[in-house]
């Protein structure tokens, strides 16, 4: 055992001495591996960070939450032209479902409408995301109110001209001024600010709440009506925790089919989108992004591997005379083999560590510049290091074998 440890130690010393004596060659060799490892780990870190951000944004939402609307969250067997002919869900259907469906915990009627330019006496904001909803949406989306309050049931039902602003919108419309009780102007009407949301960050699923203005859906219905193509309504329902989600989904489907007068032979002209299906779709997209990242970055690693193999063959050629002398003095073939394998692995590992360092530095810089946390996980560090070692091992194995099989007499003669 001690003999093998000494053999490995001597091989390691020879490898490091060879790398130090050829600094330019070493730099050029590790450059390819650095780029390859950087590409792969950068992609994996970016996708992991995006996945973490999405899951964190969605963590407040119950996975059993259901979105009832004319569109599907994911792929559907129904052709698009037919989906376009589906009727939108209505406020009357929302009230029918809320009153007649068992097991409802919270329910909200929302509308997806185009963004608007909003003004106040102190400033203006463009591209504000308008989120019309009923009062229970505060609990469905777990909106965090920093100051003020959310609109109540009475204001929701009457369509009162009140609004809850996202943090960025509030700061833009009321710089240095307390917005509570003040008025904004949107859709040609005045709305009183009754609440401001906590800051959420610039990158969020479905858009950051920082750039939102949330107001009673009945206020928007008075403007858009119920059959406007510029607005897409949705009924959002969350069952109580102990209720079976499949049973709840079946009952919801049957209630709406009955309300719409669909025959047993008729297909549904609406979609019951369970929120867990949306998270599954996100997981699938993340997996595809990771797969594409591996394929694209693999080419960089392939080039880096060929670069190391080429340099190792050059190194064997240059040190043929030295290999012959070592063998003539009693060096075993495995000593020569380990010597060149160590050189290739060390070279590749060093390049991989430089690549990881670059990813880490860029992640820190990007996290500071953007309101988004880039994560370089321990898993990705281990993947990058292991991958670098494997690339070095694979790239160096053939040159190392060719060096270990050299005849000492011929090797010495070729160097003379």
CA distances from 155 to 162, 163, 266 (A): 8, 10, 38
Can you tell me the mean pLDDT for 371-378?
Answer: 76
**Please, what is the average pLDDT of the chain?**
81
Residues 315-365: tens digit of each pLDDT? 777 777 777 776 777 777 777 777 777 777 877 888 888 888 888 888 888
Shared-domain flag, residues 94 and 39? no
Who has greater pLDDT, 162 or 401?
162
> Strand pairing of 183-186 and 104-112?
unpaired
The residue among 49, 39, 32 whose CA lies nearest residue 379 is 49
Percent with pLDDT over 70 in the chain = 83
Residues 41 and 137 in one domain: no
* Structural domain containing residue 344: 2-57+281-414
Q: Which of 12-21, 90-99, 137-146 bottoms out in mean pLDDT, i.e. has the lowest?
A: 12-21
Whether 50 and 96 share a structural domain: no
Q: Is residue 77 part of a domain?
A: no
**Comparison of pLDDT for 140 and 217, the residue scoring more:** 217
Q: Is residue 232, in this structure, part of any structural domain at all?
A: yes
Do 285 and 265 lie in a common domain?
Answer: no
| Same domain assignment for residues 125 and 148 | yes
Percent residues over pLDDT 90 in the chain: 24
| β-pairing verdict for 145-148 and 189-197 | antiparallel
Residues 94 and 239 in one domain: yes
Is 90 exceeded by the pLDDT of residue 150? Answer: yes
Q: Are residues 14 and 97 in the same domain?
A: no
**Residue where a domain stops, chosen among 222, 240, 269:** 269
Element of type H or E holding 365: helix 333-369
Based on the domain organization, do 31 and 165 belong to the same domain?
Answer: no
Least confident residue range of 53-62, 239-248, 314-323, 366-375:
53-62
Number of structural domains (the chain) is 2
Whether the predicted pLDDT of 5 surpasses 70: no
Is residue 33 domain-shared with residue 97, that is, in the same domain? no
> 248 φ, ψ to 5°?
-60, -45
Residue 275 counted as domain residue: no
274 domain-assigned? no
pLDDT in tens, 87-102: 899 999 999 999 988 8
pLDDT of 33 > 80? The answer is no
62 domain residue, yes or no = no
* DSSP code, position 110: E
Same domain flag for 316 and 390: yes
Asked if pLDDT for residue 401 goes beyond 90, the answer is: no
Report if residue 37 sits inside a domain: yes
* Residue 245 within a domain: yes
Q: Which two tokens stand for residue 274?
A: 């369970």
Lowest mean pLDDT among 27-31, 119-123, 172-176, 220-224: 27-31
- Same domain for 29 and 163? no
**Per-residue confidence (pLDDT) for residue 175, from 0 to 100:** 92
Residue 219 has pLDDT above 90, yes or no: yes
The pLDDT assigned to 228 comes to 76
CB half-sphere exposure, 247, CA atoms < 13 A: 9
Q: Which residue has the higher pLDDT, 36 or 281?
A: 36
Which DSSP string do the residues of 206-257 spell out, in sequence order?
TS-GGGEEEEEHHHHHHHH-SS-TT-EEEEEEEE-TTS-HHHHHHHHHHHHH
Domain for residue 66, yes or no?
Answer: no
Looking at 236, 269, 302, the residue that finishes a domain is 269
Tokens read off for 80: 């698009």
Same domain as 386, residue 361: yes
pLDDT category of residue 392 using cuts at 50, 70 and 90: confident
Question: Phi and psi at residue 364, in whole multiples of 5°?
Answer: -65, -45
Which of 269, 298, 327 is a domain's end point? 269
């Amino acid at each position: 055992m001690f003999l093998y440890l000494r053999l490995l130690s001597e091989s390691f010393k020879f490898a490091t001495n060879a790398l130090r004596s050829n600094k330019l060659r070493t730099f050029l060799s590790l450059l390819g591996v650095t780029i390859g490892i950087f590409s792969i780990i950068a992609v994996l870190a970016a996708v992991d960070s995006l996945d973490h951000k999405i899951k964190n944004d969605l963590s407040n939402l119950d996975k059993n939450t259901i979105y009832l609307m004319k569109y599907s969250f994911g792929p559907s067997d129904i052709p698009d032209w037919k989906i376009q002919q589906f009727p939108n869900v209505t406020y009357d259907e929302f009230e029918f479902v809320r009153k007649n469906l068992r097991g409802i915990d919270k329910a909200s009627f929302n509308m997806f409408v185009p963004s608007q330019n909003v003004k106040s006496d102190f400033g203006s904001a463009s591209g504000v995301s308008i989120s019309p909803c009923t009062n229970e949406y505060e609990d469905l989306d777990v909106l965090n109110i920093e100051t003020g309050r959310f609109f109540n049931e009475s204001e929701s039902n009457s369509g009162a001209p009140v609004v809850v602003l996202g943090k960025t919108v509030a700061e833009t419309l009321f710089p240095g001024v307390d917005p509570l009780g003040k008025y904004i102007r949107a859709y040609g009407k005045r709305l009183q600010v009754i609440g401001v949301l906590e800051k959420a960050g610039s990158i969020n699923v479905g858009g950051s709440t920082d750039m939102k203005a949330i107001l009673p859906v009945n206020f928007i219905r008075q403007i858009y009506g119920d059959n406007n193509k510029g607005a897409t309504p949705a009924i959002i329902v969350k069952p109580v925790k102990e209720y079976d989600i499949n049973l709840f989904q079946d009952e919801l489907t049957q209630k709406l089919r009955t309300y719409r007068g669909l025959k047993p032979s008729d297909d549904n002209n609406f979609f019951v989108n369970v929120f867990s299906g949306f998270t599954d779709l996100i997981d699938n997209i993340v997996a595809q992004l990771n797969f594409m990242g591996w394929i694209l970055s693999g080419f960089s690693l392939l080039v880096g591997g060929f670069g190391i193999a080429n340099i190792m063959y050059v190194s064997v050629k240059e040190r043929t005379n030295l290999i012959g002398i070592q063998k003539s003095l009693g060096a075993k073939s495995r000593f020569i083999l380990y010597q060149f394998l160590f050189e290739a692995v060390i070279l590749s590992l060093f390049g991989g560590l430089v690549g990881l360092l670059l990813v880490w530095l860029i992640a820190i810089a990007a996290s500071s510049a953007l309101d988004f946390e880039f994560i370089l996980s321990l898993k990705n560090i281990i993947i990058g290091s292991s991958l670098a070692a494997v690339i070095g091992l694979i790239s160096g194995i053939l040159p190392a074998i060719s060096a270990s099989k050299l005849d000492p007499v011929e090797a010495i003669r070729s160097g003379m």
